[in-house]
A = this chain, B = another copy of it.
Amino acid sequence: MNGTDLPRLQPKIRRVNLDTGRENVVVISRHSAALRPEIFRGFSRVELRRNAKIMLATLIITDDDSLVGPDDLGLSEPAFRRFAEPVGSAVTIAPAASPASLDAVRAKIMGQTFSAVDISAIIDDLTHYRYSDMEIAAFLISSASFMTNGELIALVDSMARAGTQLKWRNPIIVDKHCIGGIPGNRTSMIVVPIVAAHGLTIPKTSSRAITSPAGTADTMEMLARVDVGVEEMKDIVAACRGCLVWGGHVNLSPADDILISVERPLGLDTREQMVASILSKKLAAGSTHLLIDLPVGPTAKLVNEMEAMRLRKLFEFVGDHYGISVEVVVTDGRQPIGNGIGPVLEAQDVMAVLANDPEAPADLREKSLRLAAHLLEYDPKLRGGSGYARARELLDSGAALKQMQKIIDAQGPPTCCTDLGNLTFDVTASRDGFVSGINCLQLNRLARIAGAPIDKGAGIRLFKKIGDRVQQGEPLYRIHAFERSGRDLAAAGTTAYTIDSEESNLEATP
């Protein structure tokens, strides 16, 4: 045949200035000879190859030669970064085959269960960006209606092995984790210095906010640098026995971030995925003793004790399987913990507690002490039952503050500005009475509209908590924002507080 001798046409890669987030996107000219009939549609999935390197991407077609010429293939910024080949490299482009592991997902959809081998292959394909959004959704949904214990164990294992796996010389590595949902609640930033001051090792990595107004990493960033790599993190822990860094550069359980990027927009939130997400990260982090905080409240992630217990048992089951000591505490999630919501305001709360400031929020102090007490009990040298007293001693004496300062110095100075939003808006009580409920979901949403966590100084300062007496017109909370967000706040005027005339109408503590 005449045609076989023709060299296969290989476009040259170049960058196009398009930020396409987690998705790899490539742009091809409609006049490119490489645009074969099988892949002629916009938003087709395609496969780029250069030697042994393969990358999957979503295709966009253009007629605009100034964007991408007929002999070129434009890679969006994330695609260019992930492909990591020089500009001008020749590549082949072909329709993307579905990842092989998708067969198992199809079988699961039809009611089969995954083998450990299936799950390992799926997680491997996921972490190599071989799954499209809809394929990730297929995996998540196929697992959402039922997941066996065996599947869950295999999932945690595969996810934990997919990225960095930290090893520590110390036999006891303690850690804590909260499932989130409660505004404020920055206990880690108090627990870590207490526990490290005592002498236990607590290498804490935290996430940034995804749907909330602040994550621990966002808040810690007001005090110190948090973008720390694995080796530097090890040095900090060696020097301070603890750290408070962002997990993003440490690459623990990278599959988790990919799964979350699809779970969130779909609003999928299953127990099994939550357990896999948290425990895979903790396994990879080398934790041996883990405390998990499950807040329960009407606007928390868990709305009753029954839900909390089912989740607790799942954490315990998987923890036991891997020989991690997992302790689960169910806490009061009826309202925010602390007075501030948003990175700057939350950092102020934390430092006030550590500095024993008389104005410091008592609930944040008390909860932090209680959690620290649990962790300190893991120290074999400590007399059983004395964890709380020891935690309080470390906090009251200033040892925890000193330890925090040491951690801050080791991580380095913050790079962000910490001005509080100059645009303020007070929400006041519409009647006399007692605060009987605070809607955490509404406060989170409001703080985000105000600009948090992108605007570090945006957020909410609470003046009242549940049970407080209020008079009509008295401020309940103050919103801090900047000019650029202020215009969005008008629509967010509805109050997040419920006020009853009778003190006895307070919602029951869980």
Contact = CB atoms under 8 A, between A and B. Distances in A.
Interface stretch (A152-160, A312-320, A354-362, A487-495): A487-495
Most buried by B among A3, A5, A17, A66: A3
Contacts of A448: 37-38
Nearest to A63: B17
A54 interface: no
Given A62-B17, A487-B8, A37 B451 contact: yes
Contacts of A30: 19
Contacts of A133: 132-134, 137
B265 A489 contact: no
Contacts of A486: 1-4, 6
Given A423-B3, A454-B40, A19 B61 contact: yes
Given A27-B18, A61-B18, A425 B1 contact: yes
Nearest to A94: B488
A377 interface: no
Nearest to A452: B37
Given A138-B141, A145-B111, A145-B145, A18 B487 contact: no
B25 A60 contact: yes
Interface stretch (A102-110, A282-290, A384-392): A102-110
Most buried by B among A45, A451, A487: A487
A43 B23 contact: yes
A188 interface: no
A179 interface: no
Given A6-B487, A20-B42, A60-B19, A141 B265 contact: no
A36 interface: yes
B267 A98 contact: yes
Contacts of A16: 64
A33 B483 CA distance: 11
A44 interface: yes
Contacts of A64: 16-17
Contacts of A299: none
A266 B98 CA distance: 8
A455 interface: yes
Contacts of A8: 487-488
B67 A17 contact: yes
A308 interface: no
Most buried by B among A18, A25, A64, A132: A18
Contact of A106 (B1, B102, B267, B424): B267
A288 B33 CA distance: 47
A339 interface: no
Interface residues of A, number: 79
B489 A3 contact: yes
B423 A37 contact: no
B3 A144 contact: no
A76 interface: yes
Nearest to A41: B21
Contacts of A453: 37
A423 B138 contact: no
A80 to B, nearest CB: 13
Contacts of A38: 448-449
Contacts of A66: 66
A484 interface: yes
A262 interface: yes
A224 interface: no
A455 B36 CA distance: 10
B23 A267 contact: no
Interface string A393-429: 0000000000000000000000000000001110000
A90 to B, nearest CB: 15
Nearest to A102: B267
Contacts of A36: 485, 488
A37 B137 contact: no
A433 B329 CA distance: 75
A268 interface: yes
Interface string A9-36: 0000000111111110101001001001
A346 B489 CA distance: 64
Contacts of A376: none
A35 to B, nearest CB: 10
Most buried by B among A64, A144, A448: A144
A102 B268 CA distance: 11
Counting from the closest, the 3 A-B pairs by CB-CB distance are: A3-B486, A21-B42, A37-B454
13 contacts: A2-B483, A5-B487, A17-B62, A17-B63, A18-B62, A22-B43, A36-B485, A37-B455, A45-B265, A60-B76, A109-B141, A110-B145, A135-B265
Given A23-B43, A60-B76, A66-B66, 6 more contacts: A3-B487, A6-B483, A8-B487, A18-B27, A19-B62, A133-B134
